[in-house]
Structure 1
Amino acid sequence: MNPQFDYIFELFTLLISLAVAEMLMGFSRILKLRARRKAGVDPTAIEVRVGWLVPMLGLLVLVDLATFWSIIWSMRGVLDMRMATIFGVLVLIGGYYLVATLVFPDEPELWPDFDAYFWQQKRWVVGGMLLINLATATASFQLGAQTQEQGELMAQAAQQNPPFAIAMLILLFNYPAFLWLALTKGRRRSIVLMVFFTQLFFAATSWGIEGLL
Structure 2
Amino acid sequence: MRIKIPKNYSVIASNINLLRTWVMKFISFFNDSKIRLMRWMLAAWICVLLIVCIPLPAFSAVTQIEEYPGQMLYQSRQKLQDQNGNSWQAIAFKRIHPEGSSTVSLRVVGFPGAVEFYRTQPLILTTSMGETLTAKDISSEISKGTPTPANVAEYDIKSVLPQLQAEIPVQLTLPVVTGSAIELQIPSTAIQEWQTISAH
Query: TM-score, normalization: structure 2?
Result: 0.25
Say which one has the larger Rg.
Answer: 2
Greater RCO (Cα-Cα under 8 Å, separation 6 or more): 1
Query: TM-score, normalization: structure 1?
Result: 0.24
- Which structure has more strand as a fraction of its residues? 2
- Which structure has more helix as a fraction of its residues? 1
